[in-house]
């Protein structure tokens, strides 16, 4: 789906499909250089990271392994419950492995901070983070992110895996959602 299919729902397009693919290729090249001679396990955080994970992994010129986690920090509403729950855990034993968490976006950093702590307790060789987007103005918890596609303003963005009520994930670009959609 492209931006013309959701005309009126977007305030603007921040990153086109081509922008995203080029940035992911650059990130993959940097990651490959940093992990030369080491096996990498990419851990995607469902559901949002599915597009980033797919395209980032395809941008590598070597083998990488992939696994998935799903975590939730929300109760029944839209406010965080403060408690993180694992909805789907890894299938892979990560002890002694080089783990790279792949995220679509980092907002507050609270859930990601918990996830890094949880994975670190499993005795991997290393745990690093790669994210396509980060909102520095929204951070409530300091999280050391090694690979960042772009820093963006604290706005509601959708597309390329990012959703609003499970819609817009399959939008090929990333854009700012118009307030009338979610107000």
Q: Which domains does the chain have, with CATH numbers?
A: 17-153 (3.40.50.2020)
Please list the active-site residues: 107
Check whether 78 has a pLDDT greater than 60: no
Q: Which residue has the higher pLDDT, 46 or 7?
A: 46
The band of 72, judged by pLDDT with boundaries at 50, 70 and 90, is: confident
Q: pTM for this structure?
A: 0.93
Residue with tokens 């990130």: 27
Separation between Cα atoms, residue 79 and residue 126, nearest integer Å:
32
Mean pLDDT of the chain: 93
Residue 174 main-chain phi, psi, to 5 deg: -120, 130
- Residue 124 — left, alpha, or beta (φ > 0 → left; ψ -120 to 50 → alpha)? beta
Q: What is the pLDDT of residues 80-120, one digit of tens each?
A: 556 788 999 999 999 999 999 999 999 989 889 999 999 99
Separation between Cα atoms, residue 49 and residue 104, nearest integer Å:
5
Separation between Cα atoms, residue 96 and residue 123, nearest integer Å:
6
Instruction: State both tokens at 123.
Output: 């005795």
Q: How many CB atoms lie within 10 A of CB 27?
A: 21
Note the pLDDT of residue 17: 97
Check whether 140 has a pLDDT greater than 50: yes
Q: Do 53 and 66 form a contact (C-beta atoms < 8 A)?
A: yes
Check whether 150 has a pLDDT greater than 90: yes
Note the pLDDT of residue 93: 98
Residue with tokens 């992990």: 35
């Amino acid at each position: 789906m492209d931006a013309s299919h959701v005309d009126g729902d977007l305030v603007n397009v921040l990153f086109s499909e081509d922008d995203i693919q080029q940035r992911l290729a650059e990130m993959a090249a940097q990651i490959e250089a940093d992990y030369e001679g080491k096996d990498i396990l990419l851990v995607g955080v469902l559901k949002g990271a599915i597009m980033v994970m797919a395209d980032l992994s395809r941008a590598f010129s070597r083998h990488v392994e992939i696994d998935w986690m799903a975590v939730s920090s929300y109760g029944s509403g839209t406010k965080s419950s403060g408690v993180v729950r694992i909805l789907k855990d890894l299938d892979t034993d990560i002890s002694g492995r080089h783990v790279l968490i792949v995220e679509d976006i980092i907002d507050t950093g609270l859930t990601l901070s918990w996830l890094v702590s949880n994975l670190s307790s499993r005795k991997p060789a290393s745990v690093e983070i790669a994210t396509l987007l980060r909102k520095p103005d929204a951070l409530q918890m300091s999280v050391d992110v090694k690979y960042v596609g772009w820093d963006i303003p604290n706005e509601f963005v959708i597309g390329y895996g990012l959703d609003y009520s499970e819609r817009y994930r399959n939008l090929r670009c990333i854009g700012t959602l118009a307030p009338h959609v979610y107000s």
